[in-house]
Amino acid sequence: MLSRCGDDLFSVAVDTPAEAQAVAARIRSSGKWVEVVPGIASVLVCFDAAVLDGETARRVLEEVLAGDIPALPVADELLEIPVVYGGADGPDFEQVCEATGLSAEELVATHTGGEYTVDMVGFTPGFAFVGGLDDRLNIPRREEPRQRVAAGSVGIADGRTGLYPMASPGGWNLIGRTPSCLFNPVAEDPFVLSAGMRVRFKAVEAGELDT
């Protein structure tokens, strides 16, 4: 469904994050848009109102979206992300155990036992929303967000894992932290994670956390 949501914005409703990525790729390929931002269940399309009026933009978008849109190929690479679970690196770990009824060992085994896909990147630059979380770990966000969450923190909430590439505020339940650098400002591509990537988590000891 295509809907107008601003003077220079349209929203395209989709059913899945994978569909959002495919739709966004199709729209970008037409080369007519200021910005195309895929989300979890929609794609936001910004157009230049000085070049296109709203009705023309709608008509062009409808033409771009006509017909079947093939799914994007699944990423071949599976990125392994080491995580130090619990303790100072996972300040909400014990509360998550209580909320889910899982022991510490079960929580770690459950979180490291699956294969995940980055559904989208947003909230802050490079913040990864990672889908595929086991239903046993599906808990809501914290009632009171923290003003500062350390870079590399690994949180869970609302059926997803969230990865913080840099320090920022946040309300996810923090169960661990990764020693991997998720943000390198001098790199050509500063963020390690992008939508569509496949990831797996691996438990490591606290001594392996180097920052």
Residues 51-99: pLDDT tens digits? 989 999 999 999 999 988 888 887 788 999 999 999 999 999 999 999 9
Torsion of CA 1, 74, 72, 45, to 10 degrees: 50
Q: What's the distance, Cα to Cα, between the start and end of the chain in Å? A: 45
pLDDT tens, the chain, 211 aa long: 899 988 899 999 999 999 999 999 999 998 889 999 999 999 999 999 999 899 999 999 999 999 888 888 877 889 999 999 999 999 999 999 999 999 999 999 999 999 999 999 988 888 999 999 999 999 999 999 999 999 999 999 999 999 999 999 999 999 999 999 898 888 888 888 988 999 999 999 987 655 4
SS (H, E, C) 63-91: HHHCCCCCCCCCCCCEEEEEEEECHHHCC
Structural domains of the chain, with CATH = 2-65 (3.30.1360.40), 78-208 (2.40.100.10)
pLDDT at 74: 79
pLDDT at 210: 54
What is the three-class DSSP state of 159?
coil
Which of 24, 32, 184, 12 is CA-nearest to residue 120? 24
